[in-house]
Structure 1
Amino acid sequence: MVARQKLLLVLIDGLGDVAIPKLDYQTPLQAANTPWLDKLAAGGKNGLMDSVEPGLACGSDTAHMSILGYNPRKYYRGRGAFETMGAGLEMIPGDIAFKSNFAYLDKQSGIVISRRADRHFEGLGPTLCDALDGVKLPSFPEHTVAVKYATEHRCGVRVRGPGLTDTITGTDPLKDNLPLVKCAPTEDTKEAQMTCKLIHELSEVFYQVLSKHPINDERKKIGKNPANCILLRGCGSCIDIPSIEKLHGFKSFLIAPTCIIAGLGMSAGMDILPVEGATGDYFTNFEAKGNAAVTHLKGTIYDFGFLHIKAVDDAGHDRNIDYKIKFLEKIDKMMGDIIRQLNEDSGENEYTIVITSDHSTPVLYGDHSCEPVPFCISRPKYAIDPSLGKGDRVTRYEEVDAARGCLGRFCGSQLMSIAKLYMANN
């Protein structure tokens, strides 16, 4: 009987990096102790991947779209809808939504002092979101506003009503200590002009509610920044794309506590699997996520599992070298558990593992960059015994070694084709 082919894609958000003097000009991935990732690389095929295209420092949303086979230049309508859907708010055609930050605004000067009022916001975010959910816009009585907490300092904001368009800018200045941006049209239409007026009023209403909230009164008393502003980012509407099953023939699941990735998965018809302890931040339970991926992939329902890991990207944004190395090593341990469990499956399944990233987030920059990311495709049995695999010259999973791999350098839109060819021929 022919084995049923199954694919696990493990995506380490923000994995790639650049040479760091403090690490003797190694990247964090080179400096980390990652024996299981190295075993995967030694038994598999390796290369470098530009998630969308060379030279583009892309966002996680467009990178994930490209990796899954959806051309972002054709389908992308802003990240707001993904964040909002992932947070648990449904979207229908005509709605617009924003991926939003709780921020600290100095109202008198109009300067956004801090784009993230507090990184650790889990205890405050739901309460503040409840206060904002359903706010009324006096000039726009036909429109409704819904707000739901996402993760860390983020929330999803949805606006519903007639005549809305996503062809507008947001209000995020993108850096601290810059003025709050005034929403502006990106197309010269009456819908865009109206939507901008609505968003300007919405931003002001949010400020009025938050600035008077008891939580912010308390934060000011103890010397913390008040979370008195919502930065409305990445205005988007829901997209109509073929499902993963239609596009690739796989019944799929996604494990991604990060709301923006979960929302994209929903749009692609993937089953979003909740995992207890999976938080999408530094405190996430890697073991629980890995075990959940194995359990569902071993079952009879799914052919394709997508496991998204966020903490490494946060370390890059926080410019924390030690944390980036620490979490890479935690992920390596998780991968060892996954590899052993899949290899022990005595059923009728044949597993392929892809491990890669959506973009680089170098700790020296604190933001996404255009460097390609390492890519490896292998099988659990090849990681247990690399001599069984049809590998290349690569013996370590890291940026420089990956460049020597037989897959060369390619774009993310080719990932699923590479995976399916490997599954059929290895």
Structure 2
Amino acid sequence: MKYVVVLGDGMADRPIEELGNKTPLEYARTPMMDQLAAEGEIGMVHTIPDGMKPGSDTANLSVLGYDPRKYYSGRSPLEALSIGVDMKDTDIALRCNLVTLSEEESCYEARKIIDHSSGEISTEDAAVLLNAVREELETEGYKFYTGTSYRHLLIWEKGEVVDLVQPHDVLGQTIGQHLPEDKMLREMMKKSYDILVNHPINIERKKQGLNPANSCWFWGAGTKPALSSFEEKTSKKGAMISAVDLLKGIAVGSSMKVIHVEGANGGLDTNYEGKAQAAVDVLTKDGYDFVYVHVEAPDEMGHQGSVERKVKAIEYLDERLIRIIKEGLDAFGEAYRMLILPDHPTPICIRTHSSENVPYLLYDSVNKEQHHWKYNEADAEKSGKLIAHGHELIDYLFADQQI
């Protein structure tokens, strides 16, 4: 038996008036997922433990079977594992986004955050900009590390886990009240603006109508993580496919294989087909039992507030990834089970994460059923099935029987 999780990050949403009061998942054309739902089962799952912030960190830990209340030590330390940073027990890791701030105001505190991802800036351009920040601001106690696209890392030696605001939670808002209370972190963010605002890359980006990456934004502070081995925990040899350092870091921390796919970039134009083929290959050629395929695009489109692009991301996921995986595994001939779900909602109306239950779809290539369900939030709610603790969902996937 082979096992697949396809995780459409932030895919769940709330009804949208311009879509006829349907969610993007309801509105999108998803014949493959709807077929799997009609032959499998759907339901709702609570991936964010009560009282914890809704994020891809806690939610993906849940889906992989790691109870966030036990294993979560912060988002950035997981990303540090992916980047290859050897954290000391006294280190604090912080996410360092390259963001777009408004530029017409006279002081830093009065600026507004326009874009948490600087127009999904390329890793190549971001690396140049981060290096400019590094040359001016890096000290013995504060080290910068390049990640992917707008997502980078700051290691604070002998630091503390301070409360920091996620940039996508305050889009369009004046930043003054959301800046770090820690004086050094606050000052570094302000200085990063002075370093980046007139950098040649940003001047060129503005000429091209692109959002400049004109400030660092620190958030997600945490300590060195300690995850148990996925294989020892589940008796399944697992692999991870994702463009995002967070997911790759979870894989490194849990001793899963990390598969790098050329052209996988975490955006709407990611290499869906390459990810799908890599998933099929690791199961059918490399002898792995389990693969986790993470696609960031629906979440990014939710943060952008783009209804059209979020619908398109879901349709791409269906046609260009899930269909290819199903056809590849069907051709291989061994029985398999596939679990499809979001980690959390990223509603267009708020442009950030929320904690509502999300719909799951569980398909078994051998034990097929016949239903009238389609895969969306409304039908999953109507099914009456609810998994109250997200970290228990993977046990159902491996149970080889219907819930």
TM-score > 0.5, shorter chain as reference? yes
1:150 aligns with 2:169: no
1:233 aligns with 2:219: yes
Secondary structure, counterpart of 1:10 in structure 2: strand
Assess if the C-alpha contact under 8 Å between 2:40 and 2:368 holds in 1. yes
Q: Distance in 2 between matches of 1:146 and 1:219?
A: 23
1:332 paired residue among 318, 326, 338 = 318
- Offset at 1:363? 2.0
TM, length-normalised to structure 1: 0.83
Q: Distance in 2 between matches of 1:170 and 1:369?
A: 15
Equivalences for 1:130-279 in 2 at 5 Å? 130-133=131-134, 135=136, 142-151=140-149, 153-159=150-156, 161=157, 163-169=158-164, 174-180=170-176, 181-184=178-181, 196-211=182-197, 213-216=199-202, 218=204, 226-279=212-265
Assess if the C-alpha contact under 8 Å between 2:119 and 2:211 holds in 1. no
Assess if the C-alpha contact under 8 Å between 2:38 and 2:369 holds in 1. no
Secondary structure, counterpart of 2:219 in structure 1: strand
What is the CA deviation profile of residues 227-249 of structure 1, one whole-angstrom value per residue up to 9, with x for unaligned ones?
Answer: 33211011122211212112212
Pair 1:128–1:298, CA change in 2 (3 A): same
Pair 1:218–1:397, CA change in 2 (3 A): closer
Assess if the C-alpha contact under 8 Å between 1:134 and 1:146 holds in 2. no
TM, length-normalised to structure 2: 0.88
RMSD: 2.8
396-405 vs 164-173, which moves further: 164-173
Task: Please say which structure displays the higher CA radius of gyration.
Answer: 1
Instruction: Tell me the percent identity.
Output: 30
Pair 1:142–1:53, CA change in 2 (3 A): closer
- Offset at 1:323? 1.6
How many residues are paired up? 395
Assess if the C-alpha contact under 8 Å between 1:55 and 1:370 holds in 2. no
1:118 aligns with 2:145: no
174-183 vs 294-303, which moves further: 174-183
72-81 vs 167-176, which moves further: 167-176
What is the CA deviation profile of residues 68-103 of structure 1, one whole-angstrom value per residue up to 9, with x for unaligned ones?
Answer: 222222332221222343345443322222222223
Equivalences for 1:353-368 in 2 at 5 Å? 353-368=338-353
Q: Distance in 2 between matches of 1:38 and 1:216?
A: 44
Assess if the C-alpha contact under 8 Å between 1:16 and 1:360 holds in 2. yes
Corresponding residue number in structure 2 for 1:129: 130
Residue identity in the other structure for 2:126: G
- Offset at 1:109? 4.8
1:399 paired residue among 337, 360, 377 = 377
Corresponding residue number in structure 2 for 1:418: 396
Equivalences for 1:39-54 in 2 at 5 Å? 39-53=35-49
| Structure 2 gap segments, 5+ residues each | none
Corresponding residue number in structure 1 for 2:11: 15
Pair 1:362–1:179, CA change in 2 (3 A): closer
Residue identity in the other structure for 2:97: N
1:345 aligns with 2:332: yes
Q: Distance in 1 between matches of 2:144 and 2:20?
A: 49
What is the CA deviation profile of residues 155-200 of structure 1, one whole-angstrom value per residue up to 9, with x for unaligned ones?
Answer: 22223x3x3222453685833341344433xxxxxxxxxxx34424
- Offset at 1:301? 3.6
Pair 1:224–1:250, CA change in 2 (3 A): closer
Secondary structure, counterpart of 2:350 in structure 1: coil
Q: Distance in 2 between matches of 1:91 and 1:223?
A: 39
